[in-house]
Structure 1
């Protein structure tokens, strides 16, 4: 989903995660900081575990 029309902190979080466009994919290390960022935008992103 798009961050357009969302709150500024949610748009900033998406940028910090490296998500700039719809359908962007990033791989991040499982860290508490990343989990916290993802929790603020759970309605906008899909999280999957990669082996």
Structure 2
């Protein structure tokens, strides 16, 4: 596993399920094409799995 993950919001949350919106917000993503670096752990991986159709993930 990588040390950190680079997570980018690539699709808007406008039509998304409210639970998915909250998950994206909890990841620290507010606007489309914004990127955050998060630690690579099971909790973050689970959040990414929940909204995998909205984000792009790269291992650093």
Assess same fold via TM > 0.5: yes
**TM-score when scaled to structure 2?**
0.81
Q: Give structure 1 stretches of 5+ with no counterpart.
A: none
What is the aligned length? 50
Instruction: Note the aligned Cα RMSD (angstroms).
Output: 0.4
| More helix by percentage | 1
Q: What TM-score comes out, normalization by structure 1 length?
A: 0.95
**Residue 43 of structure 1: how far off its partner (Å):** 0.4
**Runs of 4+ off more than 2 Å:** none
- After superposition, the C-alpha distances for 1:8-31 in whole angstroms (9 at most, x for unaligned) are 000000000000000010000001
Where does the alignment leave 5 or more consecutive residues of structure 2 unmatched? 1-10
| Structure 1: distance between partners of 2:34 and 2:23 | 14
| Higher RCO structure (Cα 8 Å, ≥6 apart) | 2
